[in-house]
Structures are given as structure tokens and as C-alpha cells.
Amino acid sequence: MEVTAALPRPPGLPQESPKEALRRARAALREAFERGGDSEHLLRQLRLLVDAQLKRAWREFKLPGSLSLVAVGGYGRGELYPYSDVDILVLLPPSQAGADATGVIEALIGHLWDIGLEVGHSVRSVAECVEESSKDITVQTSLLEARLIVGSRRLFEQLRATLREGFDATAFFAAKQLEQEQRHLKYQESAFNLEPNVKEAPGGLRDLQVLRWIGRATEVGGTWTEFAARGLITHAEARQCARHEKTLTRVRIILHYAAGRREDRLLFDYQETMAQKLGYAATEARRASERVMEKYYRTAKSVTQLNTIIMQNLGALLDPYADSEKHPVNERFQSVRELLDAREPDLFEREPAAILECFLLMQQHAELKGVTAATLRALWRARTRIDARFRRDPANRAAFLKLFQQPRGIVHELRRMNQYSVLGRYLPEFGRVVGQMQHDLFHVYTVDQHILMVVRNLRRFTMLEFAHEYPLCSRLIAGFERHWLLYIAALFHDIAKGRGGDHSELGAVDAQRFCRAHGLPAEDTELVVFLVENHLRMSAVAQKQDLSDPQVVGRFAELVGNERRLTALYLLTVADVRGTSPKVWNAWKGKLLEDLYNATRRRLAGGMPTTSEDILAKQKEALRLLSIYGLSDGFEKDLWKRLDVPYFLRHDAKEIAWQTRLLYRKFDTAEPVVRARLSSVGEGLQVTIYAHDQPYLFARICSYFESIGFSIVDAKIHTTRHNYALDTFQVLGTGTLPDYRDMIRMIETELARRIARQEALPPPVKGRVSRQLKHFPIQPEVHIKPDENGKYHALSVIAGDRPGLLYRVARVLGEYHVELQSAKITTLGERAEDTFLVSGADLAKPRQVLQLEQDLIAALQDT
């Protein structure tokens, strides 16, 4: 049914308002679309509907016939999405300059908003349009798609003619190319974010639209058929473009309707709805949303490939290089305008080994800025020549290893190989994780993109320009022989995800098979397999175990075995954690990993002191640090005799010195002492609390930090021999970066007051559930078991992170009179994995432990 105005009313009903007519017509179009209607038809009918409303309003407001009402932007090209803005231009004749019509135009725009049209408008003369167009490529692009709705056709044609006169197609192409590069950078040059923008991200609709714009600007035409007729793409590629555009268009329409507003991000909130609307059902192994997202990623990947080919061909059309000077690279390849070009069009079909050579040459020749469109197309078509026979060829295996051993271009070429499905063909295990989502709430990339991000992070450690980011990592990798083995380990560390079972163990099997097939020495093979199998271990020990315990360090040292393995595992772990999400890494996690690395290195070197030697060394260093303050001899003794061995083991010399200076005259104080300072790790605050021990002290502290928007990342809880609590917290601000210096005085005053008053604990606040947790909830897990020494119990908590979570745990522990010894608070995106060392009489009673676990789970489920 064609809709060009409001739908007809049933006979006998009163005439409806324009607003009601528009609403009813839109609803009818939506209903028809959701019954299986065509996307193109919907966009066209929405445009015709709005055209009719604008024409009616233009007549009603009696705008002068010398003016033109022009559709621009997406509305101009006839694509109006359900909740997109209606972009219009009121074009004024030169003589009028808008003075006489200003009031009427303002009334018209107000009316359009009143009836339900979200209008983006401009009022300009032809001269003003040309001036703005010359200054802003966005305006120039918008006017390129201008379409007359109503008014003076002569004035509209004058605008088009004037714009054509001064139009520079080459400059337009360069500007759109730069604009696209900047847009891709905004989205980390990846279409594989778990919540992609289907319009703006690489591989989205904009990548197809920019080709159409340049096509019109170069007079190639605006359709894929016209592109094929000019030889820019094949007819098969033209059909691909049309198919992908149709898919992305439908996805965007469904998104608009699902959100009830203009929404171009494929958020978790809408992925199940999208799957349902597109006919995807869940299987035993995969959610429906995972299936539809894999389809989206493959579409986006193909769009990116086609965009690269067509952009290069359009550039060549504007500035032909057929007669350009060709520089030989080797017997199979040449350089044409700094682009690698296969000398023969059928090279890859005749000699498939040239596929890997192509990427190797890009690494070895810094002057090459890319690959010609013809070579890219040939590469894409020949990818199926990478088969079992290809993979068994010793020359191809040697070439693949060389890719990791080059001094430059490693990450760029691996990404290019993934983009053109070469990497997944050569490593079928990698091909299986391309586009695979990770619903663990802390990875924000698909598995393949995360793997390449980890390789990229390792590569940055080797580059001088990034040495300031992680000085220790840069120093360690500089002295690491055959550091390219770390790239191999990174490539395999998550390659077995989604198969079921332990992905570390399965990935280690794949890595071993790869290393042996590619002729790596036994020593190197063992290192790579060790790294893949244990890539999660260092992070788990650092973030969840007590690093002051010599046995913890000893067990980890026994696992790694030697310093080379330790260094490799440390480098891979830092790169891995950094590659999950920008939100997961913080300076405190870096400090924990570095502390574990240094402690294990000393242990492997045989330099691990006895407990008494360690304590004496810390005390001696603390006294040296305190010597500058001119304190009397023996000032520390009264305080230190009240502290026991665990205190000195868990605190370093700087912390001991700081707390001794704060408390040496206050060890019997009746008033709580709270002191804060900037954390030595470079982020957050370190807060010391000294007060008479009291029930629910930890809960009271948690409640306070929650109330000011700070999160606790580490807690060292100590009770002195004379029943004082001496607790040390590492806290980080959340949200916008706080000014930590300004917060110190407030924390010291307010927290001391709360502890002194011992007021009743406030009820837990109902924490707001994030979008991710709402759609991928985490069932809370609580486990309590004796530690390795049998002196304490280890309490582990896994739950979705949200405000008030730690406070709820603390309240329950207080109710059971469980004493806290230490806390390691680990937040991985939306996932909390917290570990506590606790003690208490009830922990020796199995029934009480079971009840405590159940109460903790109940408290976590109630958040």
C-alpha cells in the first residue's frame, strides 16, 4: 500500500488532526513492516508520508512561491528511518535574504515539531549554502543529496548548478577518506565491539553511504549496478553490497522500533529482540543473540573489505595510476604509488604461497602504504586455496613464522589477514572464534579481536614511543630472547574458547600441535604451551591470594620454575588484562602483578629470607625512613610491641614507617585515628584507620566509602595485641576522575566521626543493575574453605558488581562475628570476584558455615 498522506479515515468519524494522522500512518507502516514488510518500502513510505505533511504545512502557512523547501541528508536521498531527524533546508532567493519570511518560517518549524516531526532545519540563500559547503564537508555532503519537496524549482536548480560549478571531486574524495579514517579511529578501527554502532562503526551503513556519496561526486552514479558498470566492482560484488546494505538497513530499522527512539547502537538490551525479529532461535550451545551477532560481524567484515576495494578504485578513477611508474619489489610483486601490486592478476591462484608473501612484504617495506584494489580482490578470491595441503607445506609454515619475527607491521598485518579471512584459513582454530561473543561481562571485544589486542599490547612493550606506559614491561621484553614467541602464545591463549571444557588446556594442545608442526625447538614449544595453559594463573594469584604469605609465593615460584617463564607469563598477563576492556585495568592491579613478579623472582634466585629475617629487614628500613623526622630513640618500641608477626609480613617498610609516625604517641588513644594519603601506585588513596575494635567496623567503613562513591580494591585488616583495629585500605574513586587531594581531609574527618559514634548501620541500598547484568546475569557464588595452613578460612565471592555489594557482605560477616584478616577486591568489568581471609569460632562448625554461605548468597541476590 502506498502512503503519500494520512491514511483514510473510516466514514462517519470526525476529521483527525495532522498529529494524529501522522501517528496513525506511522503505526500502520510499522505494523506492515513487522508482518514481514520490505525495508526499502518502509523507508520510502516514511519519506512519502513526511513529504505529504511538509507540502500540506507549506501550503497552509502560505510561504512565498519564490522560496524552496529542500530535503537534505538521508531524508534528501529518500531514506527516512523511523526515528531519524527530518533534515530540511529553506532556500531563500538572493533578493529576499529571509527578512520578509522569517516569522512565517519560524511558525512553520514550530508547527512541524508540534505535529510530531523532529526537524533539523537551516535557512539559507544559495550564496550562503555555497559558502557553508566550502567550509564544512558535512554540509557539502548533505547538499549533495538535496531533493526539492515544494516551492521554487528554478531556485533549487540554481542551487544545484552553483554547487556543481565549484565542485572539486578530488578534494571531496580526500575529505571523505579522511573523515572515514577519523570515524574508524573513534571506534578503535574495529567492527567487533560487543555493542557495535550499526551506522557509524567500521563495516556499518556509513561505510556504504560514503561510497555512494563519492560515486555521485565523481559522476560514477549512486547505485551498485552503476559501480559495476564502470568496473569499480564486479557484478557479484555489486550484489554483495546490495545484500549487506539491505541487512544493515533492516537491523537499524528494528533497532529504532525496539528502542522507541533513534538508536544506532546494537546494545545488549536489543540483541535478543533483534534475533527474534530476524528469525534466529537459540540452540543447545548458543543464544539466539550470539547467532545474530555472528551474522552481523560477518556482514560488517565483508562491508569493510568492499569499502577498501571500492575506495581504492574510486581514488584510481580520480587520479589514474595505470601509467604510473612501477617499482619492482621482487619477481612476483611491484610497487605502484606506494601500494603493493601483484604483477600478474592470477598470481595467487597459480602460486598460493604468494598469499603469505604478500603480508610479509608489507612488513618488510615501510614505504608500502597498502595493497592495490586489484591485488586485494585477487587475495580475497584466492583465500580458499589455503587448505590442508597449503598448511602442510614447510615453506608456508616458515613464511607464517616469519610474520611474527619482523621488526614492524606485526599487528597491522595480522589484522589485515584476519580481515581478509587469511588468518582463519591458515589457522582453522582461529577461524572458529572470529566474531564469537564473550558474555563474561569484562571482555568488550569478540574473541578474535581480543586476541589481536593482546598481541598489540605485547608489541607496544617493544616500541620506544610507548616505553613510558609500562617501563618494567618495556625493560623486560627488551632483554627477552626470541620475544616473538610471546606473540604465538597470545595468538593461542584464548583460541579454544566456546568449545566447552577448560579453554586454557584445550588451547595448550592446539599450541603444542602448532609449535611442533612449525619446527620450533622443544624449549620454545614448552614455553609457549606453558604460557597458554597458565595464562590466567598469575592474575588469579596476584588478585586473590595473600602475597605476604611466603607459601603463596613459593607455590607460584614452583609453578613457573624459572625466571624466563616468569617474565614471559608476567608480560602476557599484563597484555591480556589490558586487552579485555579499558575499564578492567587500573594501577592497583598493575602493582599487585608487579609485586608478585618481584617476589617470585627473588624466590627463584634463592633470595627468599626467613620470616624473622624479612621482618627485621622491614623494621630496619622503616627506621631508616623515619630517621629524617628527628624522633627520639626507641620511639617505635611501645607501638611495635603491640603488633604481631602477621602485621609486619603484610605491610611493606614504607607503610610501617608511615603508620608508626602517625601512631607512636597515640597507641592508646580513645578517639579513632583516620589518615589518608595519595597511593604510591599512582592512583587512588591509601587510608589507615586506627580505633578500638568494635562490632561491624568493616561494614561501617564499607558503608562510608560507598556513600562517597569510592570503591575498596584492597584491605589489610589487623587487630593489635591490645584490641585495637589497625586497618589499611586502598580505595579508588568511581565515575569521573576525582581530585584525590581535595578528598583527603574530608575522609579523615567524616570517617573518624562515623567510627566514633558507632551509629546503627544504614539499610543496604538497592544497587542499580547495569544493562549488561540485566541481560547476562551472574548467579552469585560463595565458597568458604580452610586455607593451606589451616589457621584461617578463605571466603570467595563471585557476583555481578553493583553499588553496595561489599557492604552487604560485610554486614553478614558482622552478624556471624566473623573476623576479617584481609580482603582482595577484584572487579572485572561488571563481574566482582572478591576473596577474604577470615577467622571465627563458627567457621569450625560445618552447619554454621553452610548457613553463612546461604545468607551471603541471599544478600547478594537481593542487590
Contacts of 27 (CB under 8 A, 6+ apart): none
Q: Are residues 724 and 621 in the same domain?
A: no
Contact 560, 600 (CB under 8 A): yes
pLDDT of residue 154: 95
pTM of the model: 0.81
pLDDT of residue 832: 83
What's the rounded mean pLDDT across residues 241-256? 97
- For residue 62, being part of any structural domain is answered with yes
Higher pLDDT, 324 or 714: 714
Q: What are the Cα distances from residue 393, in Å, to 357, 397, 400, 468, 845?
A: 14, 6, 11, 42, 64
Q: Are residues 583 and 698 in the same domain?
A: no
Taking the CA atoms of 340, 344, 345 and 349 in sequence, report the sign of the dihedral they define: negative
What's the rounded mean pLDDT across residues 597-609? 88
pLDDT tens, position by position, 33-91: 999 999 999 999 999 999 999 999 999 999 988 999 999 999 999 889 999 999 999 99
pLDDT of residue 5: 44
Which span out of 310-319, 498-507, 771-780 was modeled with the highest average pLDDT?
498-507
Q: Are residues 549 and 647 in the same domain?
A: no
Residue 805: give its domain's CATH number: 3.30.70.260
Q: How many CA atoms, within 13 angstroms, populate the side-chain half-sphere of residue 655?
A: 20
In the DSSP assignment, the letter for residue 841 is G
- For residue 25, being part of any structural domain is answered with yes
Q: Please determine, for residue 246, whether its predicted confidence score (pLDDT) is greater than 90.
A: yes
Pairing of strands 793-800, 781-786: antiparallel
CB atoms within 10 A of CB 381: 14
Q: Are residues 95 and 125 in the same domain?
A: yes
pLDDT of residue 575: 96
pLDDT of residue 323: 55
Best CA proximity match to 360, nearest among 416, 322, 305, 321: 416
What's the rounded mean pLDDT across residues 204-220? 94
Give backbone dihedrals phi and psi of 614, rounded to 5 degrees, phi first. -65, -45
Q: Are residues 688 and 827 in the same domain?
A: yes
Per the listing, cell 554486614 goes with: 811
pLDDT tens, position by position, 390-405: 999 999 999 999 999 9
What's the rounded mean pLDDT across residues 556-583? 93
Taking the CA atoms of 178, 184, 187 and 189 in sequence, report the sign of the dihedral they define: negative
Q: What are the Cα distances from residue 574, in Å, to 477, 584, 767, 776, 823?
A: 12, 11, 31, 26, 22
Q: Are residues 673 and 822 in the same domain?
A: yes
Greatest C-alpha distance within the chain: 103
pLDDT of residue 1: 38
Q: Are residues 463 and 593 in the same domain?
A: yes
Give 831's pLDDT tier (boundaries 50, 70, 90).
Answer: confident
Give backbone dihedrals phi and psi of 474, rounded to 5 degrees, phi first. -65, -40
Contact 446, 434 (CB under 8 A): yes
Contact 761, 811 (CB under 8 A): yes
Contact 636, 660 (CB under 8 A): yes
Q: Are residues 543 and 501 in the same domain?
A: yes
Residue 32: give its domain's CATH number: 3.30.460.10
- For residue 7, being part of any structural domain is answered with no
Q: Are residues 744 and 659 in the same domain?
A: yes
- For residue 547, being part of any structural domain is answered with yes
Q: Are residues 142 and 183 in the same domain?
A: no
Average pLDDT, the chain: 89
How many residues can be counted in the chain?
Answer: 863
Q: List helix spans (H) across 383-483.
A: 388-392, 394-405, 410-419, 422-426, 428-431, 447-461, 471-478
CA distance 40 to 550: 68
CA distance 610 to 618: 12
CA distance 662 to 768: 39
What's the rounded mean pLDDT across residues 715-729? 90
pLDDT tens, position by position, 689-713: 999 989 899 999 999 998 888 888 8
Contact 711, 734 (CB under 8 A): yes
pLDDT of residue 399: 97
Helix, strand, coil tally for the chain in percent (to 5): 55, 10, 35
Give 142's pLDDT tier (boundaries 50, 70, 90).
Answer: very high
Higher pLDDT, 13 or 217: 217
Contact 761, 812 (CB under 8 A): no
pLDDT tens, position by position, 275-325: 999 999 988 778 899 889 989 998 999 999 899 989 988 988 887 755 568
Contact 860, 805 (CB under 8 A): yes
Share above pLDDT 90 across residues of the chain, in percent, rounded to a whole number:
64
What's the rounded mean pLDDT across residues 643-660? 91
Q: Which of 136, 167, 198 is the last residue of a domain?
A: 167
Q: Please determine, for residue 761, whether its predicted confidence score (pLDDT) is greater than 50.
A: yes
- For residue 813, being part of any structural domain is answered with yes
Per the listing, cell 552514479 goes with: 221
- For residue 400, being part of any structural domain is answered with no
Q: Are residues 749 and 775 in the same domain?
A: yes
Q: Please determine, for residue 665, whether its predicted confidence score (pLDDT) is greater than 70.
A: yes
pLDDT of residue 740: 83
pLDDT tens, position by position, 623-633: 999 999 888 88
Residue 186: give its domain's CATH number: 1.20.120.330
pLDDT of residue 373: 84
| Least confident span in 90-99, 539-548, 649-658, 662-671 | 90-99
C-alpha cell at 248: 544493515
- For residue 578, being part of any structural domain is answered with yes
> To which H or E segment does residue 826 belong?
strand 819-828
Angle made by CA atoms 475, 621, 836, in degrees to the nearest 5: 75
pLDDT of residue 240: 95
Give 499's pLDDT tier (boundaries 50, 70, 90).
Answer: confident
What's the rounded mean pLDDT across residues 253-282? 94
In the DSSP assignment, the letter for residue 200 is T
C-alpha cell at 815: 552478624
What's the rounded mean pLDDT across residues 182-200? 87
Taking the mean position of all CA atoms in its chain, how far away is CA 749? 38
Q: Please determine, for residue 166, whether its predicted confidence score (pLDDT) is greater than 90.
A: no
pLDDT of residue 100: 64
Angle made by CA atoms 216, 219, 225, in degrees to the nearest 5: 75
Contact 133, 145 (CB under 8 A): no
pLDDT of residue 2: 43
At position 66, the amino acid (one-letter code) is S
pLDDT of residue 12: 52
Contact 400, 393 (CB under 8 A): no
- For residue 330, being part of any structural domain is answered with no
Q: Which of 118, 144, 167 is the last residue of a domain?
A: 167
C-alpha cell at 790: 589451616
pLDDT of residue 321: 59
Q: Which of 167, 185, 218 is the last residue of a domain?
A: 167
Contact 469, 460 (CB under 8 A): yes
Taking the CA atoms of 837, 843, 849 and 851 in sequence, report the sign of the dihedral they define: negative
pLDDT of residue 825: 80
pLDDT tens, position by position, 516-532: 999 999 999 999 999 99
Q: Are residues 444 and 418 in the same domain?
A: no
pLDDT of residue 319: 79
Which span out of 320-324, 439-443, 841-845, 852-856 was modeled with the highest average pLDDT?
852-856
Domain that holds residue 55: 18-167
pLDDT of residue 3: 43
Best CA proximity match to 784, nearest among 761, 805, 809: 809
Taking the mean position of all CA atoms in its chain, how far away is CA 271? 17
pLDDT of residue 495: 96
Structural domain total, the chain: 5
What's the rounded mean pLDDT across residues 631-649? 89
Write 519-528 long-range contacts (CB < 8 A, 24+).
519/394, 519/397, 519/398, 520/485, 524/482, 524/485, 527/485, 527/489, 527/564, 527/565, 527/568, 528/485, 528/488, 528/489, 528/492
